[in-house]
Chains A and B, each alone.
Chain A
Amino acid sequence: MRFQIIFLLISSFLLLIADNAHAMHLSEGILPFNWALLWSVIAVPFVAWGLYKLKKLSAVDLSFKPLVGLMAAVVFIISCMPIPVPTAGTCSHPCGTGISGILVGPAISILITAVALLIQALFLAHGGLTTWGADIVSMGVMGSFAGFVTFKALRSMKINMAVSGFMAGLFADWATYFTTSVELASGIKGDAPFMPLFWKILIAFIPTQLPLGILEGAMTAGMVTLLYKKRPDLLVKMRVIKAEEATI
């Protein structure tokens, strides 16, 4: 109990000294209407899949809902949290979709990312309503799937929890910014060729996102390992590990 209180107080203090919030989401009006519509159309079935999955899982176990709520709060806060990157002189934020993809699965992770992005677009001017679909695809769909698939693949190769979590967080972050580069380049290129602009944008992200991806990997590894050590029952409940692994 004492540890939790100290942890909460330290977390509060760190957040209190935070500087201006910066987001990587595509801002309102950045994408032309047709591209914004296309990304929204792509995002809709994934969000619908998340709703279906949530309904199905919470029908079996109602306590799944608070866990999803908790993960939504985690994704919201992590994706709002500006972190200065001294090597680049800029700020950016982790995505949190690596950990949510691992813990609640990609479908529900996409759903909670959509909710977090909607609140940010409505009240914080981070992202936008017209670019909501594009942001869901980059951060929700690509981030969640990259995290989930990487973690599962590494675990199936008997790689330990910390390394699997680290790589999942790393690839979730990088996949998000890779997709953002695709979305931005395709939306603003006009008559110019796509590939040179895409590489230009991607390379511009690298000084910030390379170290931040490593940080996100470390965060994800820390969270997964902590859960594995302290609450393996939760990982079993969320089907991250099998029951026999929890007894190790």
Chain B
Amino acid sequence: MKSQISYLNQIFVIIALALIGCFLTAGVFAEGTVPDLRMPTGIVESGLSQSIAEIKESKWPGVDESVVEKFAKEHGREAREPFINTDQGDLLLFVFLLAGTAGGFIAGYYWKELMVNKERQRTNGNI
């Protein structure tokens, strides 16, 4: 019974870390707030196609837009589309969901190895 509980604890830790990993990575790029779970949270608006006027109007622009791209445009240079454009629909969110899931499971696995198994060895007197 005790080993079953310990096994369940391990699964819980792995799943919890996987979920946190998803949230951590997806959350960085999430637009808006959490509560609306019906729709994907959207992705970064493309700054590349925005005019300077639009940038000035937009709220909280990044310094890449408000400084770097502004001065570059004034001197005849413009940012171009990235080679791999994940800024299409919710593709970026999906990529980060995958990365977060993979990262979360890896973190959970090593957490188990480092914390749970080591603790068990210590309890058994192997360390």
Contacts and interface: CB of A to CB of B under 8 A. Distances in A.
**Do A and B originate from a single complex?**
yes
Interface of A: 8-9, 11-13, 15-32, 77, 80-82, 84, 89-92, 121-126, 128-129, 180, 184, 187-190, 192, 197, 200-201, 204-205, 208-209
A23 B112 CA distance: 35
B54 to A, nearest CB: 14
Contact of A24 (B68, B85, B95): B68
Interface in B66-125: 66-72, 75-87, 92, 95
A121 B86 CA distance: 11
B61 interface: yes
**DSSP class of B's interface residues: helix, strand, loop or mixed?**
loop
A130 to B, nearest CB: 9
Interface range on chain B (Cβ under 8 Å from partner): 35 or more
Contact of A18 (B27, B67, B79): B27
B79 A11 contact: no
Contacts of B31: 19-20
Contacts of A205: 63, 67
A121 B45 CA distance: 16
Nearest to B23: A12
B52 interface: no
A36 to B, nearest CB: 11
Contact of A89 (B60, B65, B81, B95): B60
A193 B3 CA distance: 73
